[in-house]
């Protein structure tokens, strides 16, 4: 079950505030740790791998 | 919003030399007249849209007022261009909506683009039950012109232009203003003052009051251009476009071929640079090419703003009531500056009229600040989210915003983060001017705006309401004692109106009556009391006359003896 928008927005705000508390180098490690925690909880390798692909889309500037 | 020197026109143009609008030139009132008329019931300081609308609302209830404004014409430029449905309903109640209907462009849709690709198309809530569209675009000088036409036609309103209020002091019976105009100084007593003198309110500083709150980083330029651009009336928001990398652009259509280009200042430009005509032309030209407009365009006017959430702790200071930007400054993204100002004016206006007519105790005015300040804080909450998305204040908010926009290119759900959250009117809590409710009737909640419903081709529920309080008795048969109930409420409000199921069935048929029940979520028997500003004051599952009269008398009746009677 996907999170509803209101909950997703809480995650958005929590992450924004957390990122602001961290230094640039801490941010990268933090996001990697968070990804591993979420991947483990999701319990589905193929979906995690698909998300790793999806998240790479549109990173480059136009 | 801004001072005169915050808004500019192209070199060679006069301060009010517009491509499409002729500004009036007002003069100071006759010297003998101001010296003869030493007092008024209500003085309204500031003849902008909020001040003029307050005067019209007081006149709606037969109360005379004097408007003071230090300018000799309207505010310069298009400024607040989005008028909400609830404001149209308020304008209609004041008898001033018709010219707006004829001129403004209604709209329901917005589109959001990221790096040139559309990521979101949103529709504002709308249905056939509504008399008006959710939003209308119209330049502020037309808003002021149409309100002024109504003010000038009213025998109850006197406007004194070129008249600066330079002092204010409390007296036994109200307030005394010192006024300076081109003919000299004079004093004018008033029982009450409505301070509608804007973001830099002189009355506010003279009363020693300060706005409190936050400023957001990120400066915006708003520029109006005239061009033959064919795009429907749809709000466009552009994030990280070629013409303004990493920054935000908003585009709105206005009447008379005028387009609002609202863009976040590019990095590396100082405020002075960004505000220079060459830079405005450069930036606007780049944005127009970006949206594929190839034709000619003329620059009309530009201004600058930043997002603030600032408010007074209390919108009332004795006999001085702050309405509009003098009481609160909200970020532009929720389009609640003008709309909330008009709601302030109507809220203060009907209550003050009742107090001045001796129908309500002065303590009715105590409900003004909690209701309207509550609405401001609600706007702050939503507008803060919008401002964080439009102009992220820090690295964390920027990263999250960019992540959401990037995901939105492939995933519709992520587009929801870009929704501008234009708001429905705020729901007031009970106490004060909303009756305490132990039980309620259906899905309608006291304190909320009464929902509208279409009852025939050209008649809506709102058309049946009276000028003052209205009682909607939705019982199958007229309840016992209805005539006595009507007489009691009539004595509490001479403008009182009663509408029964019988009326509605006879005029519009049983099918429309049951559709009305469906819309309001009510069962037969439900009885609703609607305030003069369209808000629901109370709702009862059945019409029990003595309960209703007791509650209405307690909240809106008069117990004290007024000193001016």
Answer for the pair B469, B537: CB distance below 8 angstroms, yes or no. Answer: yes
The rounded distance, in Å, linking the Cα atoms of B255 and B259 is: 8
CB-based contact B413 A58, cutoff 8 Å: no
Nearest-Cα distance to chain A for B503, in Å, is 43
Q: Which residue has the higher pLDDT, B178 or B2?
A: B178
CB-based contact B394 A20, cutoff 8 Å: yes
CB-based contacts of B505: which residues, under 8 Å, 6+ apart? B513
Q: Is A53 on the interface with B (CB under 8 A)?
A: no
The residue of chain A nearest to residue B384, with distances taken between CA atoms, is A13
Q: How many CB pairs under 8 A join A and B?
A: 47
Token pair recorded at residue B538 = 């109370």
What's the whole-number mean pLDDT along residues B348-368?
97
At B549, the pLDDT band (50, 70, 90 cuts) reads: very high
User: β-strands B297-311, B536-540: how paired?
Assistant: unpaired
Of the partner residues A8, A58, A62, the one whose CB lies closest to the CB of residue B242: A62
Q: HSE-up of B27 (CA within 13 Å, CB side)? A: 4
DSSP secondary structure code for residue B428 in this structure: P
The residue of chain B nearest to residue A21, with distances taken between CA atoms, is B396
pLDDT of residue B272: 84
Q: Is B409 on the interface with A (CB under 8 A)?
A: yes
What's the whole-number mean pLDDT along residues B175-187?
97
Of the partner residues A13, A19, A62, the one whose CB lies closest to the CB of residue B395: A19
The rounded distance, in Å, linking the Cα atoms of B207 and B279 is: 40
Q: What is the pLDDT of residues B464-487, one digit of tens each?
A: 999 999 999 999 999 989 999 999
User: β-strands B212-227, B297-311: how paired?
Assistant: antiparallel
Q: Is B388 on the interface with A (CB under 8 A)?
A: yes
Instruction: Please identify which residue in the block is written with the tokens 């109360």.
Output: B63
Give the C-alpha distances (Å, rounded to integers) separating B101 from B81, B83, B89, B424, B539.
14, 11, 11, 20, 32
Q: Is B116 on the interface with A (CB under 8 A)?
A: yes
To test the contact with chain B by mutation, choose from A4, A10, A11, A12 the residue with the greatest count of B C-beta atoms within 10 A, namely A12
Give the C-alpha distances (Å, rounded to integers) separating B537 from B427, B428, B465, B551.
11, 9, 14, 10
Residues of B whose CB is below 8 A from A24: 395
Q: Is A1 on the interface with B (CB under 8 A)?
A: no
At B419, the pLDDT band (50, 70, 90 cuts) reads: confident
pLDDT of residue A60: 80
At B5, the pLDDT band (50, 70, 90 cuts) reads: low
Instruction: Please identify which residue in the block is written with the tokens 């308020």.
Output: B90
Q: Which residues pair with B113 in a beta bridge?
A: B118, B238
Residues of A whose CB is below 8 A from B396: 15-21
Q: Which residues pair with B105 in a beta bridge?
A: B137
Q: Is B406 on the interface with A (CB under 8 A)?
A: yes
CB-based contact A20 B410, cutoff 8 Å: no
Write out the DSSP string of B33-53.
HHHH--EEEEEEE--SHHHHH
To test the contact with chain B by mutation, choose from A58, A59, A60 the residue with the greatest count of B C-beta atoms within 10 A, namely A58
Of the partner residues A16, A54, A61, the one whose CB lies closest to the CB of residue B410: A54
At B32, the pLDDT band (50, 70, 90 cuts) reads: very high
pLDDT by position in tens, chain A (length 62):
899 999 999 999 999 999 999 999 999 999 999 999 999 999 999 999 999 999 999 998 65
User: β-strands B320-322, B258-264: how paired?
Assistant: unpaired
Q: Is B167 on the interface with A (CB under 8 A)?
A: no
Nearest-Cα distance to chain A for B394, in Å, is 7
pLDDT of residue B560: 58
Q: Which residue has the higher pLDDT, B333 or B352?
A: B352
Write out the DSSP string of B466-484.
-SS-EEEEE-SSPPTTHHH
Of the partner residues B399, B400, B410, the one whose CB lies closest to the CB of residue A57: B410
Of B190-194, B247-251, B269-273, B513-517, least confident by mean pLDDT is B269-273
Residues of A whose CB is below 8 A from B245: 61
CB-based contact A59 B406, cutoff 8 Å: yes
Beta strands in B289-428 (DSSP E): 297-311, 316-317, 320-322, 328-329
**Which ipTM was obtained for this model?**
0.95
Residues of A whose CB is below 8 A from B240: 62
The rounded distance, in Å, linking the Cα atoms of B290 and B241 is: 8
Nearest-Cα distance to chain B for A20, in Å, is 5
What's the whole-number mean pLDDT along residues B518-522?
94
The rounded distance, in Å, linking the Cα atoms of B565 and B542 is: 37
Of the partner residues A16, A27, A54, the one whose CB lies closest to the CB of residue B397: A16
The rounded Cα B452 to chain-centroid distance in angstroms is 19
At B562, the pLDDT band (50, 70, 90 cuts) reads: very low
Q: Is B416 on the interface with A (CB under 8 A)?
A: yes
CB-based contact B410 A9, cutoff 8 Å: no
Answer for the pair B124, B116: CB distance below 8 angstroms, yes or no. Answer: no
pLDDT of residue B188: 97
Q: What is the pLDDT of residues B107-142, one digit of tens each?
A: 999 999 999 999 999 999 899 999 999 999 999 999
What's the whole-number mean pLDDT along residues B490-519?
97
Answer for the pair B431, B369: CB distance below 8 angstroms, yes or no. Answer: no
CB-based contact B396 A19, cutoff 8 Å: yes
CB-based contact A16 B417, cutoff 8 Å: no
The rounded distance, in Å, linking the Cα atoms of B368 and B195 is: 14
Residues of B whose CB is below 8 A from A6: none
To test the contact with chain A by mutation, choose from B400, B410, B412 the residue with the greatest count of A C-beta atoms within 10 A, namely B400
User: β-strands B316-317, B320-322: how paired?
Assistant: antiparallel
What's the whole-number mean pLDDT along residues B384-411?
92
CB atoms within 10 A of CB A31: 15
Residues of A whose CB is below 8 A from B406: 57-59
At B237, the pLDDT band (50, 70, 90 cuts) reads: very high
Token pair recorded at residue B71 = 């300018």
Answer for the pair B69, B159: CB distance below 8 angstroms, yes or no. Answer: yes
The rounded distance, in Å, linking the Cα atoms of B53 and B55 is: 5
The residue of chain A nearest to residue B417, with distances taken between CA atoms, is A9
Nearest-Cα distance to chain A for B263, in Å, is 19
Of the partner residues B240, B245, B396, the one whose CB lies closest to the CB of residue A16: B396
CB-based contact B396 A20, cutoff 8 Å: yes
| Phi and psi angles of residue B91, each rounded to the nearest 5 degrees, phi first | -60, -40
Answer for the pair B137, B255: CB distance below 8 angstroms, yes or no. Answer: yes
The rounded distance, in Å, linking the Cα atoms of B323 and B51 is: 8
The rounded distance, in Å, linking the Cα atoms of B250 and B112 is: 9
């Amino acid at each position: 079950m996907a999170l509803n928008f209101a909950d997703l927005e809480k995650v958005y705000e929590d992450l924004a505030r957390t990122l602001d508390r961290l230094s640039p180098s801490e941010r990268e490690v933090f996001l990697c740790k968070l990804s591993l925690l979420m991947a483990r909880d999701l319990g589905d390798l193929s979906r995690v791998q698909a998300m790793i692909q999806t998240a790479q889309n549109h990173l480059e500037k136009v | 919003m801004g001072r005169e020197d915050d808004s500019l026109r192209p070199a060679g143009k006069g301060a009010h030399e517009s491509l499409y609008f002729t500004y009036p030139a007002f003069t100071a009132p006759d010297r003998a007249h101001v010296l003869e008329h030493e007092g008024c019931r209500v003085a309204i300081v500031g003849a902008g849209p909020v001040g003029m609308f307050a005067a019209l609302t007081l006149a709606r209830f037969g109360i005379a007022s004097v408007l003071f404004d230090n300018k000799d014409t309207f505010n310069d430029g298009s400024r607040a261009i989005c008028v909400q449905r609830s404001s149209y309903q308020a304008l209609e109640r004041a008898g001033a909506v018709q010219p707006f209907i004829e001129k403004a462009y209604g709209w329901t849709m917005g589109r959001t683009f990221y790096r040139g690709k559309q990521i979101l198309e949103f529709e504002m809530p709308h249905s056939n039950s509504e008399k008006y569209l959710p939003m209308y675009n119209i330049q502020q000088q037309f808003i002021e012109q149409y309100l002024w036409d109504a003010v000038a036609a009213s025998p109850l309103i006197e406007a004194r232009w070129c008249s600066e209020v330079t002092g204010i002091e409390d007296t036994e019976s109200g307030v005394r203003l010192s006024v300076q105009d081109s003919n000299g100084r004079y004093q004018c007593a008033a029982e009450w003052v409505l301070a509608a003198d804007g973001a830099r309110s002189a009355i506010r500083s003279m009363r020693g009051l300060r706005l409190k709150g936050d400023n957001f980083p990120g400066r915006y330029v708003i520029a109006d251009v005239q061009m033959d651009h064919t795009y429907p009336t749809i709000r466009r928001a552009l994030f990280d476009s070629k013409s303004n990398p990493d920054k935000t652009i908003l585009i709105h259509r206005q009447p008379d071929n005028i387009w609002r280009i609202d863009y976040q200042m590019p990095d590396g430009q100082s405020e002075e640079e960004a505000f220079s005509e060459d830079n405005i032309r450069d930036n606007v030209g780049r944005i127009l090419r970006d949206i594929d407009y190839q034709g000619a365009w003329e620059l009309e006017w530009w201004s600058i703003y930043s997002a603030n959430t600032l408010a007074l702790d209390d919108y009332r200071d004795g006999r001085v009531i702050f309405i509009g930007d003098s009481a609160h400054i909200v970020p532009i993204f929720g389009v609640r500056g003008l709309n909330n100002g008009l709601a302030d004016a109507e809220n203060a206006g009907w209550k003050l009229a009742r107090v001045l007519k001796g129908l309500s105790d002065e303590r009715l005015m105590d409900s003004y600040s909690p209701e309207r300040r509550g609405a401001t804080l609600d706007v702050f909450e939503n507008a803060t989210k919008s401002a964080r998305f439009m102009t992220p204040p820090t690295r964390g908010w920027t990263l999250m915003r960019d992540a959401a926009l990037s995901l939105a290119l492939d995933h519709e759900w992520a587009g929801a983060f870009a929704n501008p959250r234009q708001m429905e009117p705020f729901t007031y809590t009970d106490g004060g001017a909303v009756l305490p409710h132990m039980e309620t009737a259906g899905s309608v909640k006291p304190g909320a705006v009464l929902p509208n419903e279409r009852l025939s081709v050209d008649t809506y529920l709102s058309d049946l309401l009276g000028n003052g309080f209205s009682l909607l008795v939705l019982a199958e048969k007229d309840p016992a004692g209805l005539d006595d109930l009507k007489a009691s409420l009539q004595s509490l409000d001479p403008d009182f109106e009663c509408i029964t199921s019988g009326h509605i069935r006879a005029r519009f048929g049983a099918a429309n009556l049951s559709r009305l029940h469906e819309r309001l979520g009510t069962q037969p028997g439900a009885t609703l009391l609607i305030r003069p500003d369209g808000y629901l004051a109370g709702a009862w599952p059945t019409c029990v006359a003595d309960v209703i009269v007791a509650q209405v008398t307690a909240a809106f009746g008069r117990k004290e003896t007024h000193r001016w009677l």
